[in-house]
Chain A
Amino acid sequence: MMYGYAGTILRVDLSNATIRKEPLSKSLAENFIGGRGFVAKMLYDEIPSGIGPYDPENMLIAATGPLTGHFLPASGKTHFGTKSPATGGYADSNMGGHFGPQMKYAGYDVLVITGRAISPSYLFINDDTVEIRPATEYWGQGSITTEKNFKNHLGDDYQVITIGPAGEKRVRYACISHDFGRQAGRTGVGAVMGSKNLKAIAVKGTGSIPVADLKKAYAKGKQAYQKVMAKPGFKGWTPEGTAGITNWTNEVGVFPTRNFQTSHAGHYKNINGEAILNRLKITDKGCFGCPTPCGKYGHTQTKLGSAYVEGPEYETIALFGGNCVLKTIEEVAYANYLCDELGIDTISAGVVIGWAIECFQKGILSRDDIGREIDFSDLDSVAYLLNQIARREGIGDLLAEGVKIAAEKTGKGSERFAIHVKGLEWSGYECRNAPSMMLAYLTADVGAHHNRAWVLGHDVAGAWTNVHDLISSETEIRAQPKAVVSERSAEYVIESQDKRSLFDALGNCRLQMMELGFEAEHYAELYSVITGITKSWEALLKISERIWQLTRAFSVREINGFGRHLDFPPARLYEEPIADGPNQGHVLSREEIDDLLTWYYTARGWNENGIPIKETLLSVGLSEVAEDLEARGLL
């Protein structure tokens, strides 16, 4: 008996309509924990090398972790993984809500989807009953509409994930949607789901997850809640959720604005957390087990219409309110709603649209190319482009490819301000005066995403500090000194990468640790009493490091000519000093970026081209991976 886990992997091949259940192996669980660890291991071992992301052989994996669904703060996460439509390498995307817990109550730790259904289908799971069912009637519908229709049809006790039109049309940044406002947003997991003709998965579980020592686990879980609730951030951070950081990022000048031309938006007080509370919010909305619900569900009204919408959370504020310069929280929320219904990642969409507007302003894309005039601060432009993108109509077909491919196809210097790393669009922190955070973006395994390391505290405050303390310390808009570029950045980034991504393996939210400062070590205790496998936090971090090396190895194997050049930001971020605001005039030079990468590679045990060396792979227990890469001439 394996404790903590549900014990079964469910494999569904949509091409030949086969459904297979296999026991979760003890060694997989012990060596890779769950979630992101399972995703990395299964992708590396099972994907035929060289396939395209939309080939039927690609896998779409939904993996929970050992903590998912248990009694402890915020155990509601599900981790999706696939070969990346954004980068061609490793991809994963994390989602909150209630889906993962429900998977485990139904008896499954992991769902693995391969193949392609002949016609639009959905996967139905009710405990042991698993069926591939027709979904033609839902095809073409928006994500929110589809989820509601499924709930009406199957019952509210089903948890549902869906794709919208963007996923069906394989927009490279289509998301998987759930719970009317939660998404696996990044890396195009929704496009892979669409390529499989899979519109939705509905799951209901009425089973129970075995626990090694339930009495102790329950007591420890209650203590954990009490400790989280005793943190100052419980009352201070929760009301605004992630949006609460908007003031701070503007005051210290790291808020991407006008396609990253600058890092401060003058109107930030019109799009911050307070604006959400005063003008949009109906209810706090959280994931399973969460004491600090970051979701702010509300209602927005604009000239284009009104809508119920969850959010906007910080990232959406940054990319639509900053990068596309939408002027009011109502407009940002409406763009958010359009993305949610169409099934598009708000981060990538905000970057792509910012780039397109700048291309238009510079005459690189014409009115004819686009179909109309477009501008910053214009909700009509944003709404028009989102609809074109989701349906791949007109200019939308180009923009749906993501900013990297769109810029390569467009040329004329537009690559210089196409803000991505490896093909994944940059999320909501501008880094020209934040060397550690810059390095975090450059080396994140999925591309330019902040989820793997968040080290702005080091850059701005000079130390690690939880987000609540950072944002509640008094700030004002003031000129920032040029940041010091040092070897320490590599250390900070690695520490944060191993720590933060461990939560994606455990199946738990990290925000209670990151934002409130709830001590990470508690999770090792919870893991041990729940699974009966005693591991210290340090031992778990070692596994996290193994997973990190493995995801890098996957990209080395799958991306032709992988190397240092792919860890570089676009030219704007090392050539153009920031236009105005607190960091006016600052920029990291190409040499400084090269130094940061070299320090990082050395500390990670990689060669000067950013490829893990054999000894490194052996030292983290990945000898088969070393052999495989060696046999392919990649080591």
Chain B
Amino acid sequence: MELRAIHENCSGCNTCRLACAIENFKEVNPSRSLLTIEARFPAPGDYRIHLCDQCGECADSCPEDAIHLKDGAFIVDPDACTGCLICVEVCPHDVMFIQKHSDVPIKCNLCGECARTCPRNAIVWVQDIENDGDQESEVA
């Protein structure tokens, strides 16, 4: 089970980012969120949601084997991480973050809060999609 973005539904509200920051860091501070919304204006005039789809490239690239799959999400073990930031480089969605309070990169833990709070149904669980033929065609 993972998250998937339906970019066409996104209207750039950033509700998901604020929810992520509150849920995971107890802060009203979207700069700490673990996904980003790219506003592509004036052209082509749309939004792109950058989120972690748990592809595991970060884990594969980590020389210290510090990133492990736990309950469907790849999680960085801060004790094993040496801060080399190779994973930040390889992440295909640019969603391995370095936050200002820490040397250790941090990433989405699949808590699902962004999907639950998005008012536009622009972030969905892939499992949901597979159960629902309509939505599948939308993302195909």
Q: Measuring CB to CB, which residues of chain A are less than 8 angstroms from any residue of chain B? A: 69-71, 73, 98, 101, 105, 144, 148, 156-157, 179-181, 205-211, 214, 218, 222, 225, 228-229, 282-291, 293, 295, 297-299, 308
Contacts and interface: CB of A to CB of B under 8 A. Distances in A.
8 contacts: A105-B31, A179-B39, A208-B21, A214-B22, A229-B119, A285-B11, A287-B13, A291-B119
Nearest to A205: B31
B112 interface: no
B31 A291 contact: no
Contacts of B13: 286-291, 293
B29 A286 contact: no
B44 A206 contact: no
A225 B39 CA distance: 23
B120 to A, nearest CB: 8
A81 B32 CA distance: 31
Contact of B18 (A71, A144, A205, A285): A71
A207 B14 contact: no
Contacts of B10: 283
Interface residues of B, number: 31
Contact of B14 (A73, A208, A211, A289): A289
B70 interface: no
A330 to B, nearest CB: 16
A283 B22 contact: no
A206 B14 contact: no
A289 B100 contact: no
Given A283-B8, A289-B18, A225 B119 contact: yes
B82 interface: no
B15 interface: yes
A533 B97 CA distance: 36
A229 B13 CA distance: 15
Nearest to B44: A282
Contact of B45 (A209, A228, A229, A297): A297
Contacts of B47: 283
Interface in B95-135: 100, 117, 119-120
Contact of B15 (A144, A284, A289): A289
A196 B26 CA distance: 40
Contacts of A218: 22
Contacts of A157: 31
The 8 tightest CB contacts between A and B, nearest first, are: A291-B119, A208-B29, A293-B11, A208-B27, A180-B41, A206-B31, A284-B11, A286-B11
A180 B28 contact: no
B46 A283 contact: yes
B29 A282 contact: no
Nearest to B116: A222
Given A289-B15, A291-B13, A207 B29 contact: yes
B45 A299 contact: yes
Contacts, number: 94
Given A209-B28, A291-B13, 12 more contacts: A69-B28, A144-B42, A156-B39, A179-B41, A205-B31, A206-B100, A208-B27, A208-B28, A214-B22, A214-B26, A286-B13, A295-B11
Contacts of A299: 45
Nearest to B41: A180
B43 interface: yes
Contacts of B29: 105, 206-209
B38 interface: yes
A218 B39 CA distance: 26
Interface in B1-58: 8, 10-15, 18-19, 21-22, 26-32, 38-39, 41-47
Contact of A308 (B21, B31, B42): B42
Nearest to A228: B119
Contacts of A156: 38-39
A325 to B, nearest CB: 27
Given A105-B30, A144-B42, A290 B100 contact: no
Contacts of B28: 69-71, 208-211, 214
Given A105-B31, A211-B28, A291-B15, A225 B117 contact: yes
A339 to B, nearest CB: 14
A211 B43 CA distance: 37
Interface in B58-114: 100
Given A105-B30, A209-B28, A282 B45 contact: yes
Given A69-B28, A156-B38, A206-B100, A222 B117 contact: yes
A224 B79 CA distance: 40
A130 to B, nearest CB: 18
A489 to B, nearest CB: 37
Contact of B42 (A98, A148, A205): A148
Nearest to A291: B119
Contacts of A71: 15, 18-19, 22, 28
Contacts of A209: 28-29
Contacts of B22: 71, 214, 218
Contacts of A308: 41-43, 45
A207 B27 CA distance: 9
A180 B14 contact: no
Contacts of B43: 308
B20 to A, nearest CB: 11
Contacts of A105: 29-31
A181 B12 CA distance: 13
Contacts of A211: 28
A211 B30 CA distance: 14
B40 to A, nearest CB: 9
B18 A298 contact: no
B127 to A, nearest CB: 22
A286 B45 contact: no
A225 B38 CA distance: 23
Contacts of A285: 11-12
Contacts of B12: 285-286, 293
Nearest to B10: A283
Nearest to A76: B13
A211 B25 CA distance: 13
